[in-house]
Amino acid sequence: MLYIVATPIGNMGDITLRAIETLKRCDFVIAENPGYSRRLLQYIDGLSVRTASVIASNDSVGMTAKKEVVQFAEHNEQQIVKELARRLSKQDGALITDAGTPGISDPGFRLVRECVKENVQVIPFPGPNAAIAALSASGLPTDKFLFLGFLQKTVSKTVEALQFAANAEATAIFYESPERILKTLSYISNAFPSSQVVIARELTKMHEEFIRGTPTQVSDALKDKPSIKGEFTVMISFK
Ligand code: SAM
């Protein structure tokens, strides 16, 4: 069985009771980033962690004190996805990613797709997600929204994706890096100058912040900062 376990996007207090129970109970953890999973498991229970290959060795079966962690990330997903799905038909694994809900803008969906194909049961354990947390406090319309993941980097692809959301009269949501945010805002300000933009930065962390305004106002507010750092979720309303 494959458990899809959402984990905190910053504040560890956002871990759910079901996530804790599932991470303790499962046979092994499948993680994008073993460093993050180690910190998370230590937070949960002081569990010690060992990394392992995808195949369970005899000594890892029935292990209680240590939780086995298998890495599933961009660099190895293609090599191990089938083998992992086969193992999940016999054992229970919990998929976690760097943070948030596994499968949302990360490689997790490929494992879910393979499990569905192989008739392995997949069970979601809902919890934190940056896009939904950002939207819920944005003040922008939430009745219809379009999640665009990470945008492609060219101006034409950016405008095309956002135009699609505008045509659908949906609030657009996407993830962006601090290095690219000003460039992306300049594209938005040229194509949709009177749109309403909300940036949710560092959600659930010490420096959590919402910046609201036209694309130019939001861009100016960012430029006023000594440096542009942190994790960004961007939302745009075209109404
Ligand atoms: N699966 C995750 C989820 O459910 O939120 C998203 C994974 S995606 C690889 C990571 C991106 O989400 C970051 O680059 C950033 O754009 C956004 N993000 C993650 N944590 C965030 C936070 N605390 N505040 C704002 N945006 C965040």
Q: Which atom of ligand 1 is nearest to the CA of 108?
A: 1
**Ligand 1 centroid distance, CA of 66 (Å):** 29
Whose tokens are 């194509």? That residue is 191
Q: What is the pLDDT of residues 16-43, one digit of tens each?
A: 999 999 999 999 999 988 888 888 988 8
For atom 2 of ligand 1, the residue with the nearest CA is 100
Q: What is the pLDDT of residues 192-219, one digit of tens each?
A: 999 999 999 999 999 999 999 999 999 9
Q: What is the pLDDT of residues 136-165, one digit of tens each?
A: 999 999 999 999 999 999 999 999 999 999
Query: What does the alpha-carbon distance between residue 208 and residue 203 come to, in Å, rounded to a whole number?
Result: 5
Q: What percent of the chain has pLDDT over 90?
A: 81
End-to-end CA, the chain: 44
Alpha helix (H) ranges present in the chain? 17-25, 34-45, 77-88, 108-117, 130-136, 155-167, 181-191, 215-223
Q: What is the pLDDT of residues 76-105, one digit of tens each?
A: 889 999 999 999 999 999 999 889 999 999
**Ligand 1 centroid distance, CA of 157 (Å):** 21
Listed residue (58, 61, 114, 104) closest to 84, CA to CA: 114
User: Residue 100 gets which letter from DSSP?
Assistant: B
Which residue among 14, 95, 105 is best mutated to probe the pocket of ligand 1, counting the most ligand atoms within 8 A of its Cβ?
A: 105
Domains of the chain: 2-125 (3.40.1010.10), 130-237 (3.30.950.10)
